[in-house]
Amino acid sequence: MSTNGPYILVLNCGSSSIKFAIIAPSTGETPLKGLVENLFTASGRLTYEAQGEKIKSTLPAKADHTQALQLIVEILNQFKQLKGQLVAVGHRVVHGGEFFAESALINEAVIQAIHKTSNMAPLHNPANLAGIRSAQLAFPLLPQVAVFDTAFFQTLPKEAFLYALPYSLYEAHGVRKYGFHGTSHYFVSHKAAQMLNKEYEECNLISAHLGNGCSIAAIKHGRAVDTSMGFTPLEGLVMGTRSGDMDPSLPSYMIEQLGYSAADVNSILNKESGLKGISGLSNDCRELEAQAKLGNEQAQLALDMFCYRLVKYIGAYMAVVGTLDALIFTGGIGENSAYVRSKVVSQLYHLGLVIDEALNDEMRFGRSGGIHQPASLPVLAIATKEEWVIAQDSARFAK
């Protein structure tokens, strides 16, 4: 077992899952990482990987975050040398509202602010808080740090983050665009600046995070100025199961004319739409690519719509950021799907983006690099490392 500490324990608590990892903030070295799934069910399971070995176990029925955290601590107890080098716990927190433009050392006031934001992220923030409370009990001596998905987008100007609704909705209820996937956009945009050999503050970038959730960010002179996700992570691009943009009157039409309940509509837009809804097959891009190749028209349509929406956003953001230094692809699809990247970039030829198909085909499985022809504006595929960003930011608060 490597002992290149200090290390940070990074926790990403979802509504029914916990991702955990021990990460060296200076290098990104990850000697241990794991995943708890299916909390609150009879089939909870825990898998982790350490020293190249994968280990699986089950959880007690209906285990909650606290019980799962106890198991994680038991695992860490088997790796005393690593555990002894932990200097902080970094928590991914989905929604920081307007309270947090950067990461924060967790104290009671920070917990209250996260709690206040929970009504805007009802699935995520309460889970994040459960993780924080459990980790405080398990590691009372370590600083606990909250790293927010929304913080990167607190630089958006009002003209970009406001909806054209009565201003009082913003003032009284915080109705505005917040943006999500901030740690990923932060990581890949900084990495792009390095790859371009340019000061970050001078870079005009567009980063597309394409995974099961998808978002795109416009970054001008090193500041986020727009993004596709909004008040919630539902707005914007076509995603795995989320609709992204649509006519805002559709929910009331579905409720009043088609007889759906508000809960039905919410579930359809979040869980039954996007690639899955259009294809009727799957939210998995790999499967859709395979089916489209076999001639499945709905799979092809889903991919066409996915790419078309993305092309529209890239065009809009090229207008916003000024002279573009690079277009970045990241996330499971952005990092691995040569098909999607090629299909998108080939529709941007007239804007100066030309893909190199050979480079594009090679770029997958965690590799990062340029996928454009020499005369093109740079197009980069970059493997995102959100957990590493959380570790780096948390290390700033370690004693």
Interface positions, 233-262, toward ligand AMP (CB under 6 A): 240
362 annotated as a binding-site residue = no
Q: Which of 272, 284, 357, 362 binds ligand AMP (CB under 6 A)?
A: 284
Q: Are 219 and 225 in contact (CB under 8 A)?
A: yes
Which candidate, 96, 92, 84, 103, places its Cα nearest to that of 142? 84
Kindly name the residue from 149, 325, 356, 393 that is annotated as catalytic.
149
Q: Are 95 and 87 in contact (CB under 8 A)?
A: no
* Whole-number Cα distances in Å, 93 to 96, 144, 254: 7, 12, 32
Question: Which of these segments, 35-43, 104-112, 187-195, 327-335, binds ligand AMP (CB under 6 A)?
Answer: 327-335
Q: Are 188 and 207 in contact (CB under 8 A)?
A: yes
350 annotated as a binding-site residue = no
Query: Is 283 or 376 the residue whose CB approaches ligand AMP more closely?
Result: 283
Q: Shortest gap between Cβ of 1 and ligand AMP (angstroms)? A: 27
The C-alpha atoms of residue 342 and residue 359 are separated, in whole angstroms, by 11
Size of the site for ligand AMP (CB under 6 A): 13
The C-alpha atoms of residue 207 and residue 327 are separated, in whole angstroms, by 6
The C-alpha atoms of residue 232 and residue 10 are separated, in whole angstroms, by 24
Q: Shortest gap between Cβ of 384 and ligand AMP (angstroms)? A: 8
74 annotated as a binding-site residue = no
DSSP string, 79-117: -HHHHTTEEEEEEEES--TTT-SS-EE--HHHHHHHHHT
Q: Which of 337, 376, 392, 394 binds ligand AMP (CB under 6 A)?
A: 337
269 annotated as a binding-site residue = no
What string marks each residue from 208 to 227 as x (binds ligand AMP by CB under 6 A) or -? ---xx---------------
DSSP annotation of 378: P
Nearest 5°: the CA angle 13, 17, 19 is 60
Active site residue 149: yes
Question: Which of these segments, 10-18, 125-133, 294-302, 326-334, binds ligand AMP (CB under 6 A)?
Answer: 326-334
Q: Is residue 293 at the binding interface for ligand AMP, with CB under 6 A as the rule?
A: no
286 annotated as a binding-site residue = yes
Enumerate binding residues for ligand AMP (CB under 6 A).
211-212, 240, 284-286, 289, 331-333, 336-337, 364
Catalytic residues: 149
Specify binding-site residues for ATP.
19, 209-213, 284-286, 332-336
Specify binding-site residues for Mg(2+).
12, 386
